[in-house]
Amino acid sequence: MNKQFKEAIKKSGKGLGKMLPVIAGVILLIGLVNTLIPKSFYTELFRGNFFLDPLIGSVMGSILAGSPITSYVLGGELLNQGVTLIAVTAFIVSWVTVGFVQLPAESMILGKKFAITRNVLSFVFAIVVAIITVGILNVI
């Protein structure tokens, strides 16, 4: 191995060591929030309004955030409990793409401007994707 490669590995390791406590804190906070809020809370929140449900879904998904695998399970449960497809779609898309809980860590790693811009755009597009998805499914 050449000297530049060794130096790059060394710097990467130091950077990861500095970020590890922040990343661990974010993961623990997400787990805590997901555990404290019961699934029945979501059915009380979504009332079947075509315009309000995707907005609420995006807000809730953005705040709670999680992994794609758990979003499919949660989405299926929400649909079984009578939550509208548009709300579930907005919730799942924002759950995976937006993360206000992770914003401090993302800002520190990628820069504040980038992190905020990415989260805002992801939030808006979660609503747009939900409306388009349900619109297409209604046409089919």
User: Would you state the pLDDT for residue 23?
Assistant: 72
pLDDT at 93 over 80: yes
Q: How far apart are CA 84 and CA 70, in angstroms?
A: 18
User: How many Å apart are CA 100 and CA 17, to the nearest integer?
Assistant: 23
pLDDT in tens, 32-62: 766 777 767 766 788 888 889 999 999 988 8
Asked whether the predicted pLDDT for residue 115 surpasses 90, the reply is yes
- Domain of 62? 3-139
What is the tally of structural domains in the chain? 1
